[in-house]
Amino acid sequence: MTSGSAHQRGSARETALVRAVEDGLLGPGAPLVGLIDVDAVLAAVDALHEAFDGPATVHHTFAAKACGLVPVLRLLADAGMGCEVASPGELEQALAAGFPYDRLVFDSPAKTVEELETALAHGIAINLDNFQELARVDRLLAGREPVGPIGLRVNPQVGAGAIGAMSTATATSKFGVALRDPGAVDAVIDAFARRPWLNRLHAHVGSQGCPLPLIAQGIRAAYELAERINTQLGHARITGLDIGGGLPVNFADEDDRPTYADYVAELRGAVPGLFDGRYTLVTEFGRSLLAKSGTIGTVVEYTKSAGGRQIAVTHAGAQVAARTVFMPESWPLRVGVFDAAGRPKQGPTEIVDVAGPCCFAGDLTAAARELPVIEPGDVVALYDTGAYYFSSHFSYNSLPRPAVYGYRTGTDGQVRFALVREAQSVREVVEESGLAHADALVGLGRD
């Protein structure tokens, strides 16, 4: 059964699509757009904070990779979130959005010396990935105390979820110190014994496709290691546990499941001591905070049939939905069909492939779906696309990035829009492709 909040979100989305068409944000002159429900985003943030309410101090950070758009990040900063970044670009986006240094966490398995120096100088929390990186920080600190917390990422090697590429705690994962490898635990204990400034452990099992018991198993391994280190050293050397994010998103229907409350309940059952207040907790949720709040709207340019299959050709394909196009079984999207005025279509249905504009046969955002009969000029909506789909553009065929708008629905039912990112122009695509150096290779040959 769909919850009241999920029903409200779906109703607001339909109202926003109508208004987007009326305002010309979506239509013949703008055949592709991204829409973000601001009220739904803020509701997700509230649900996260409420679920973790208790004795333990918890710092919630948003994984910037899920939507690296500055206005979205600023909204989250204003709502009390911190930000987890994994590259210099994400760091600069977070700073531009207004996150202070002490609300940032820097994760990356390939941090450069310059990146580490920046984090150390400004007190950004860092999770180090391996023993070589630990040695690098030893040299950079040269005996001085760091300003911010520094942790070590460990891989509990508890196994994979349903999507291997999204599972970061497998036996051979590239992330962290593999705890089940021979001698690894002793090496981690020794690392903490010799470095008074090392005070956190970080573990992240994975995201989409990882069930809650698997995530809890990985966090329990990190907790038990922290307990062992503190006991062996005779004092609370480890004061914080970064438990990552990873709450999977339900892409099958409108409902939010599992919830943050479900996540915390699973952790309380598996690791009851985690919440007693002895450790500061850090979270790094991304997809689960935004996915349900986003919609991609696109105009149907043509309809046709091939081999008895109906095909609707739209402007949304791999360039905005790469994961769905290339791994449709793992990343299916719900599809809505609306008429040219943005109103939900009713009536007869047909089996149809929803195709994108990219020049390869597999560019389908939905295959063999039963949908209302689609006609040219209709609007197709791809639901649950608020995370990754807007900011992880795939520049296939040099297709420009679409505009993105946020919206809120007033008590009077009226929708207000705010521009988050302007649509990329074709001229900007050309400039980005090296226009300023157009003669460089010809000139090199002449030289």
Q: Name all domains of the chain by residue range, CATH numbers in brackets.
A: 4-36+291-432 (2.40.37.10), 100-285 (3.20.20.10)
Distance (Å, whole) CA 163 – CA 46: 28
On the CB side of 395, CA atoms within 13 Å amount to 8
27 φ/ψ sector (left φ>0, alpha ψ -120 to 50, else beta): left
Q: What are phi and psi of 47, to 5 degrees?
A: -65, -35
Give the chain's residues under pLDDT 70: 1-2, 447
Residue type, 123: G
Gyration radius of the chain's alpha carbons: 24
3-state secondary structure of 339: coil
Answer for the pair 202, 246: CB distance below 8 angstroms, yes or no.
Answer: no
Per-residue pLDDT, 342: 97
Task: Provide DSSP, 52-113.
Answer: T-SSS-EEEEEEGGG---HHHHHHHHHTT-EEEE-SHHHHHHHHHTT--GGGEEEE-TT--H
3-state secondary structure of 266: helix
Distance (Å, whole) CA 336 – CA 312: 13
User: What angle in degrees, to the nearest 10, is found between the helix axes of 131-141 and 113-122?
Assistant: 60
Distance (Å, whole) CA 307 – CA 326: 22
Per-residue pLDDT, 1: 43
Distance (Å, whole) CA 17 – CA 34: 10
User: What angle in degrees, to the nearest 10, is found between the helix axes of 113-122 and 88-96?
Assistant: 30
In this structure, the dihedral spanned by the alpha carbons of residues 416, 421, 422 and 428, taken in order and rounded to 10 degrees, is: -170
Which residue do the tokens 């900011």 mark? 391
Per-residue pLDDT, 447: 65
The DSSP bridge partners found for residue 151 are 127, 200
Q: pLDDT tens for residues 77-108?
A: 999 999 999 999 999 999 999 999 999 999 99
Per-residue pLDDT, 167: 77
Answer for the pair 371, 275: CB distance below 8 angstroms, yes or no.
Answer: no
Structure tokens at 293: 């709040």
Q: How far apart are the first and last CA of the chain?
A: 71
The b-or-e profile of 149-169 (16+ CB within 10 A means b, else e) is: bbbbbbbbbbebbebeebbbb
pTM over 0.75: yes
Answer for the pair 404, 69: CB distance below 8 angstroms, yes or no.
Answer: yes
Which residue do the tokens 């002895």 mark? 278
For Cα atoms 311, 294, 9, give the angle at the middle one, nearest 5 degrees.
105
The b-or-e profile of 350-375 (16+ CB within 10 A means b, else e) is: eebbbbbbbeeeebbbbeebebbebe
- State the alpha helices, DSSP H only, in 142-239: 184-193, 212-233
Per-residue pLDDT, 207: 85
- Measured CA distances, 159 to 5, 31, 164 (Å): 34, 43, 9
Answer for the pair 293, 31: CB distance below 8 angstroms, yes or no.
Answer: no
